[in-house]
Structure 1
């Protein structure tokens, strides 16, 4: 069983979900202690690499954008005191770790971003906005020639890639910014490719728990299921058990109460046809630090590619992982 926590990957035994409540209850304390260890050493690590550049987070007013802004400061990067938001009143000032971020209306993005680029020519933009804004934002970034990390999901992805290709803009595009989760998915894909049919006949049970305002099924869960299907498992995506009820998340899943508003707990349980063999894969994420840290690594990676004038322009988190130069 592979257990994924915000800062580490470890292999530990996990009982079957029907017998796992006591185990998960015991894990709560350790999960909390791991999550409490945030980004304290990041600045020293990045400083040792002598990497520093301006980064603009669009939008700092969202929970994910705010986490990325904090991670940028912790990593010793220069957070541009400008952001955009359709939910905050224009002119509002957000305070992020001692930095005042002035909020502008999205209608001002082109004018304001052009000024930012003039003042900070080496700026990298990070996008954590809304799905409906993905394509318009990408078109603007490409028009202005600014490198960007697109962490926002949704939008017309084919159009997104074509926009970047046509303008030859540097970009990291990934719907999943958690480095360890991406590594886990990559390992699953390798296993599926190398050993097709290895789990033929096995029964698969999938449970995924996310904050209540996440209405859709986890894309990560779908990707893992796709790998198991290639491994010979018969499973319909409709069978994925979504848990969005906070009470069930507390009592059944073991999500720490303070992370009910932001978590990703996944469990994949496989049973052999005669029920004598079982396998379990689990990755539990509390909070958003794993995604924020991955985003900062992606921004640093992209900055280096721009600086070195790399021939390749479009990257994903697999490219960032392969580089190996991460915090």
Structure 2
């Protein structure tokens, strides 16, 4: 992941960038130097997939064994384990010493599948028997934490079920009716970590943006904002992260509407213009925010680039450990987000 803040002192350069539309897909311009040239990635070997997953440790064996010894026994139910994000979380969870149960939820099309994860088998259950499966698992494992990386359409129904059974959960799935989601959890008094962004460092950046917006409202009044975000082709909507950052810029005095965000979903443009490494076209999140002063003499760029899913998986594991601690201590507060996890300061 890369964070870049640039201040342009050359007036003619800033003006040129503004008038030539830095983010125009038709300009043929690359956004800075391709990230692949600036960062060295260690690309994992290709996995065999048959409804099976090969384990690729996220941590070194020394660190993983230390963490595992501290967290052995915390049971988790991974809902959405047939997806790439669910698999990444399982890898990170096992490396951290957590104990995935042999059951999980999926869509109707996945019901009955048996996933083999490095010798651990997980049976996927469809919507029809979710409640009985969850109730039984929670009865057998009273310290259970559910992790949800399903689909936006299932967010509210799944949360309602978790609250009905009374099981604590980490909601990493985006979308759904978020206002209803928070109300459902608040009414039930179930412990939960709810966050559309699980990447710890990205969350820290968002927190810094929010602090700046709160303490210096109007600081960028009159500035022109351009926003580009690139994600894998199947993600059609604007990311929650971009929406949050744009909201901060609006508080800072910038006039900008979400319809102005430039979504890059064409793989060819992602490689040639944005600089996404080809091996990460199926899983990446590149965001760039470019501010220019009214007279074109000053510009700022805020950029964060993520390749792969390990940053979100590791953040999810921290959220699980955090939530387990809150449940154990019977904390008064019940609903948390990733900023709460960051503030705790106990991340691995």
Q: Distance in 2 between matches of 1:209 and 1:87?
A: 30
1:259 corresponds to which of 251, 261, 280:
280
- Secondary structure in structure 2 of the residue aligned to 1:208: strand
1:195 corresponds to which of 213, 216, 225:
216
Which structure 1 segments of 5+ residues have no match? none
Query: What aligned pairs does 1:94-109 form with structure 2 within 5 A after superposition?
Result: 94-109=115-130
Q: Distance in 2 between matches of 1:59 and 1:138?
A: 14
Q: Does 1:168 align with 2:189?
A: yes
Q: Distance in 2 between matches of 1:176 and 1:38?
A: 22
Alignment-derived partner of residue 24 in structure 1: 33
Question: In the alignment, is the contact (CA less than 8 A) between 1:38 and 1:289 conserved in 2?
Answer: no
Alignment-derived partner of residue 256 in structure 2: 235
Q: Distance in 2 between matches of 1:320 and 1:51?
A: 20
Alignment-derived partner of residue 58 in structure 2: 39
- Secondary structure in structure 1 of the residue aligned to 2:146: strand
Q: Distance in 2 between matches of 1:301 and 1:196?
A: 33
Q: Does 1:226 align with 2:247?
A: yes
Which structure 2 segments of 5+ residues have no match? 9-16, 45-55
Q: Deviations over 1:137-158 (max 9, x none)?
A: 1111111111001111222222
Q: Distance in 2 between matches of 1:62 and 1:55?
A: 16
What is the aligned-residue RMSD (CA, Å)? 2.3
Question: In the alignment, is the contact (CA less than 8 A) between 2:76 and 2:99 conserved in 1?
Answer: yes
Worse-superposed segment, 113-122 or 283-292? 113-122
2:101 corresponds to which of 80, 89, 102:
80
Q: Distance in 2 between matches of 1:45 and 1:83?
A: 27
Q: Distance in 2 between matches of 1:268 and 1:137?
A: 34
Q: Distance in 2 between matches of 1:118 and 1:315?
A: 24
Q: What is the aligned length?
A: 319
- Secondary structure in structure 2 of the residue aligned to 1:83: strand
Alignment-derived partner of residue 89 in structure 2: 68
Question: In the alignment, is the contact (CA less than 8 A) between 1:53 and 1:78 conserved in 2?
Answer: yes
Q: Distance in 1 between matches of 2:136 and 2:117?
A: 22
TM-score, structure 2 normalization: 0.85
